[in-house]
Structure 1
Amino acid sequence: MDKIRATHELHQRRLSRNVGLGIVLVLFIGIVYGLTIAKVGTDPNDELGAEWAAGQERAAK
């Protein structure tokens, strides 16, 4: 009789592939979130944003 194994090799490969894909998706979401916060968080009226806004105006001329 063949012995029934609880986890097949195919299941192990799928699990590692799914974990890898999950990590990639989490990193991608983190990058998009970070870029969104950086873009939305720039206020041209505060001290830090004033330099950025002035640089944008100079670049546009």
Structure 2
Amino acid sequence: MSDPQNEGPIDAKARRGRNIALALGLALFMVLVFVVTIVRLGASTGNG
């Protein structure tokens, strides 16, 4: 791993890009879990 204190601007930009990609991936996963949960709950209410 690189030391954040001794990294150049190119390394900092690459790290920022990875962090943004990771945050977007996590957000998309959370939305997917939410949508699947809502669909499953909605489908289960019609069975009674």
- Give the Å deviation of 1:8: 1.5
**How far apart are the structure 1 equivalents of 2:31 and 2:6?**
38
Counterpart mapping for 1:30-41 below 5 A: 30-41=30-41
User: Residues 1-61 of structure 1 correspond to what in structure 2 (within 5 A)?
Assistant: 6-42=6-42, 43=44, 44-46=46-48
Q: Deviations over 1:10-52 (max 9, x none)?
A: 1100011111111111110011110000001122135xxxxxx
Runs of 4+, deviation exceeding 6 Å: none
Q: Percent identity?
A: 2
| Local SS of the residue matching 1:45 | coil
Aligned length: 42
C-alpha distance in 2, partners of 1:25/1:7?
25
Structure with larger Rg: 1
Which structure 2 segments of 5+ residues have no match?
Answer: none
